[in-house]
Amino acid sequence: MRYTATEFGPAENATGGPGTFFLDRDGTVNVKPPDGQYVTSPGELVLLPGAAEAVRRLNAAGRRVVLVTNQRGVARGLMTREDVAAVHRRLAEMLRAGGAFLDACYICPHEVGRCGCRKPLPGLLRAAARDFPDIDPAHSVMIGDSESDVLAGKAAGTATVRIGRPAENAGQTAADLVAADLWTAVDLLLTSRRRPRRRGPADPRRGDGV
């Protein structure tokens, strides 16, 4: 499932700068539901503090912002594809209220082991690269709160940032960088003179995610 700038914002404003920011959704942009639960309706969507500001800052800096999210609740019959679309329309509204937009959104609705797009596999990121030929993985970054996000980025050839407390993630992640939240990650990446040094590839069979 893919939603593009028609729903979210003008992709032509996302050119320039050192590439693309791939963002996980739950736990990175919005409050993550408890394990085994999903954001099934627009009313359940709550943005994390600083998330809209972080996306707005990326927009202003000319970076492309692409959401990539596992939504296995569709395969489990807990929500429909239209439910997911409604949640993302609400997400677009909330970001727009903060002066921000996404350029595209890619969703895996499948059960584990039934596709090549479910993170930690890199299918969602590779689909974006096919749709936006100017995306260069070597000049892109994947940001998420789960190790599955990190592994997907590694498999796609991007730099990676794990969202969470650095002390708690020390030695527990293959990410190139750990940041407390999305705003902190964006601030570090936009102000640093060097992008995160990519570590070697990790095993995409590992990982977690909804």
Active site residues: 24, 26
The Cβ of residue 154 has, within 10 Å, a number of other Cβ atoms equal to: 24
- What DSSP character marks residue 2? E
Contacts of 152 (CB under 8 A, 6+ apart): 68, 119, 120, 121, 122, 124, 125, 142, 144, 204, 207
Distance CA 167, CA 29 (A): 21
148 alpha-carbon distance from chain centroid:
11
